[in-house]
A and B are shown apart, each in its own frame.
Chain A
Amino acid sequence: MKRTLALVCMLVLIAPFALFAGGAQESAPVVAANPEDSKMGGVLVFGRSGDSVGLDPGRETDGESFYGSTAVFDTLVEFIPGETAVKPALAESWKVSDDGLTYTFNLRSGVKFHDGTPFNAEAVVFSFERQFVETHAYYDLGPWKYWGYMDMSNIVDSVVAVDDLTVQFNLQHVEAPFLANLAMDFASIVSPTAVAKYGEDFKNNPVGTGAFKFVSWNKDSEIVFERNADYWDGPVYLDRLILKVIPDATARWLALQKGEVDLIDFPSTEDIADMRAASDIQVIQQAGLNVGYLALNTQKAPFDNKLVRQAINYAIDKSEIIEGVYGEAGQEAKNPLPPTMWSYNDDIMAYPYDPAKAKELLAEAGLADGFDMELWAMPVARPYNPNARKIAEIMQAQLSKVGVTAEIISYEWGTYLGKTDQGEHQAAMLGWTGDNGDPDNFLWVLLSEPAAIPPAGNIAMWKNSEFTDLCRQAKEVADQDAREALYREAQEIFHEEAPWVPIAHSVVTVPAKTNVKDFVIYPTGKRVFKHVWLEK
């Protein structure tokens, strides 16, 4: 009896392994036999943290959705890989009228949607009008949230097909960042025929002109794409692209080690050292398009005094914060713009950590004995700030060395946002992740005078007319060099006036197998695979 029982136990435990151990290996990627081009072929699996909500880029707002739609769709202009400036894509060239109100795009000819229908001016007009012309047949498939986020209804007046391959955008007012908006996912060009065919279900059956055609989607599991052999910006090397959902960061890393996936998103910081040590793993990194900061409320004493704000900047040692909180995932900030953004002013010298200088400035401001302040920290991890409360504790200790007593205050996240945008705080941490890669998307939204009106994006409530004028001018000239000069100057004013303590830019890390070639991190957060290839 004893033996029988033991045997049964053993069998139950071992049977599954014994039965299937032989077949357990994942099959190797299928290699296309194409001796002329060794880059061709292969299946790439990208392990990411969450599923797409939908694949119609006009409707969605989350990065995971755009990971999928970016593969399927193109935009009129697109970001230069790894940069924030734009280059021609579905539009071969464009002209801006002298008054800055009319943008005329010459479209690429001979491009076809995946369903075989031609890409033309009509499709462009369709893709945009569905998002803002309320009488449009497919307007009701919205809400078109990103169109709203980017305030496009107050920028675009009309989109007109001049001829089959020419499209004209008429603007309501001069708005230079408009061009960068057209490189964003919501401005993707969709197949009108497919939208008409699928209606509401287009988000599950996307049809565009992009490098990959949509094949299938198992919710919360994987989305499969295949090569678009006729791609206008080809060749596309990968046979197939699979976006696989692996919610847990450690599990993603384990899957990468085992070779089930070829590259992964959002690794946990603690694993990065191991990843570097592994011989078959490469760690691709770049500063993200974001900034985490401490806003000093310039409408409240003592931060209405520039000297006090500068003193706080001298009193905070960012290197300790990076080391203690961000680790590998952060880079010290000195400007409100992230370093990957064009017009980033690298000539500005960050405030060094100098408690003596801080005390000096405080004395000059009449606060030689220091003061008490509230230091607000958000309760949640954000992309630009993984642990605000811990940062607040480090700051608190540092500030005490210059005689400033900081009391850490936190609210539930929704309440926190509601209170800070009303300016109820004295000093509060917050941050921003950029959308369109344009400096305006940081400087205007976070620091201009109009943005200081509640609900404020400018939670330093900083009202500096010189800074605002520079940013306004930069909105109104189309010439990129001229804009760059204006933004560089604006950053100098920001530095001198010190409405924030810029804390850090989080670093985006994508660990990959070493045979994954030509993968570039896009600062705007896109994951683009159209020119990626696998070394065999």
Chain B
Amino acid sequence: MLKHIFKRLLLLIPTLFGVITLVFFMIALAPGDPARVMLGERANAQQLEQLREELGLDKPLIQQYGLYLSRIVRLDLGKSITSGQQIKDEISERFPATIELAIWAMIFASTIGIIVGVTSARKRNSWIDYTAMGGSLVGVSMPVFWLGLVLIMIFSVWLDLLPTGGRMNVRYYFQPITNFYILDGIILWIREGNSQYLVSAFQHLILPTIALGTIPLAIIARTTRSSMLEVLQQDYIKTARSAGIKERRVVFRYALKNALLPVITIIGLQFGLLLSGAILTETVFSWPGIGKWIYVAIGARDYPAVQGGIIFISVFFVLINLVVDILYSVINPKIRMQ
């Protein structure tokens, strides 16, 4: 098992090298002079030259690449051009917000997705099945931005139930402790006996969770259904049924366990995708996470920040995949043996 993990970790190195190289050249070879774009209408020759030097754009591309690689190896992502802050600080300030939202969105998507998928499979070709699968088709093709705005319109403006965006009621003057607001809310509840922070953090999470979780929910539901259907056709299920074992036990005890294997892979992949896909959700819901931060950095042509952000997300994505693989082999010993 350890050997398996170690091998997988080693395989990370070429993957990351590829990602870093790709990100560097994608941005370096993008048309236009970043210094020009950053200074806009007010550039004069002296400022342009100064900024190019600051960005290292006056050096040959290969040399820029070499310098870049050597910095990355030392885990130095450099400084953001717009803020002058260390990029790793900028990321660590915002990452908890993204992770918190992604975790909730995944819990939401997995729970409901699996329930819907299993129900559909059991009631195959019934109206429940058609509704669920039709609904999931709508879910997959839903533009997140639009869904977010509609949710705000209905639940915040019309029904006046939930806030329109942000992570906490700004009038509470909340000072984060861990930057995971639900956790902070619990800590403050225990420490000060005041539950308002927890309640507010939870309220602020609901709509973005639904918006971000809808697409993965639909995908998980569909995967669960088809995987479940396949398993329910297997001989051992037929055997179990003919042995007179209760249907509930057959489905949940014997079928589901095997049917969930591909679902876990999908959940892992979706979780990785959520991190990058959160850009739109974070923008609609004013969620101060890393997706929105990268989006702003792209607009400002803050190249070091864009590079740093993409590399960070890629590393995270790859690590999630690793964890999924390990989980997979824990659940399914056949894989471990290979």
Contacts and interface: CB of A to CB of B under 8 A. Distances in A.
Interface in A20-73: 20-21, 23-27, 29, 43, 45, 50-51, 53-54, 59, 62
B189 interface: no
A415 interface: yes
A273 interface: no
* Residue among B84, B93, B153 with most chain A CB within 10 A: B84
A277 interface: no
A202 B32 CA distance: 34
Given A216-B173, A431-B41, A246 B288 contact: no
A415 B153 contact: no
Query: Chain A, interface size: which category?
Result: 35 or more
B43 interface: yes
Contacts of A16: 202, 206
Contacts of B277: none
A251 B31 CA distance: 33
A254 B149 contact: yes
B33 A415 contact: yes
Interface stretch (A87-95, A219-227, A460-468): A219-227
A59 B81 CA distance: 12
A8 B115 contact: yes
A413 B32 contact: yes
Interface of B is mostly: helix
Contacts of A421: 43
A24 B152 contact: no
Given A29-B171, A258-B156, A418-B33, A17 B161 contact: yes
Nearest to B44: A455
B44 A5 contact: no
A257 interface: yes
A264 to B, nearest CB: 11
Nearest to B286: A246
Given A1-B248, A244-B166, A24 B203 contact: yes
A420 B285 CA distance: 39
Contacts of A418: 33, 36
Contact of B286 (A29, A251, A412): A251
A254 B48 contact: no
A221 B288 contact: yes
Interface in A80-114: none
A224 B168 CA distance: 13
Interface residues of B, number: 63
A25 B160 contact: yes
Contact of A417 (B37, B83, B116): B37
Q: Which of B94, B160, B164 has the most CB of A within 10 A?
A: B164
Nearest to A414: B32
B115 A222 contact: no
B167 to A, nearest CB: 6
Given A9-B115, A148-B47, A455-B45, A258 B157 contact: yes
Contact of B160 (A219, A242, A258): A258
A248 interface: yes
A430 B41 contact: yes
Interface string B146-168: 00110011001100111111111
B111 interface: yes
Interface string A1-21: 100010011001100110111
B308 interface: no
Contact of A251 (B152, B170, B196, B293): B152
B15 interface: no
B230 to A, nearest CB: 21
Contacts of B160: 24-25, 258
Interface string A412-433: 1111011001000000001111
A337 B286 CA distance: 36
Given A24-B160, A219-B93, A53 B83 contact: yes
Contacts of B288: 51, 218-221, 245
B119 interface: yes
A103 to B, nearest CB: 25
A26 B171 contact: yes
Nearest to A420: B41
Nearest to A149: B42
B125 interface: no
A215 to B, nearest CB: 7
Nearest to A23: B199
A20 B156 contact: no
A248 B284 contact: yes
B156 A254 contact: yes
Given A54-B84, A260-B163, A12 B170 contact: no
Contacts of A152: none
A400 interface: no
A272 interface: no
A251 B115 contact: no
B112 interface: yes
10 contacts: A12-B111, A17-B161, A23-B199, A50-B296, A53-B82, A220-B94, A221-B170, A247-B286, A254-B156, A455-B43
Q: Which 9 A-B pairs have the closest CB atoms?
A: A414-B32, A220-B288, A414-B36, A414-B37, A412-B32, A221-B288, A255-B164, A246-B286, A414-B33
Interface of A: 1, 5, 8-9, 12-13, 16-17, 19-21, 23-27, 29, 43, 45, 50-51, 53-54, 59, 62, 148-149, 215-216, 218-222, 224, 242, 244-248, 250-251, 254-255, 257-258, 260, 412-415, 417-418, 421, 430-433, 455, 457
Given A23-B203, A413-B36, A415-B33, 12 more contacts: A9-B116, A12-B112, A17-B161, A24-B160, A148-B47, A219-B288, A244-B166, A258-B156, A414-B31, A414-B37, A433-B41, A457-B42
Interface of B: 31-37, 40-45, 47-48, 82-84, 93-94, 111-112, 115-116, 119, 148-149, 152-153, 156-157, 160-171, 173-176, 196, 199, 202-203, 206, 247-248, 283-286, 288-289, 292-293, 296
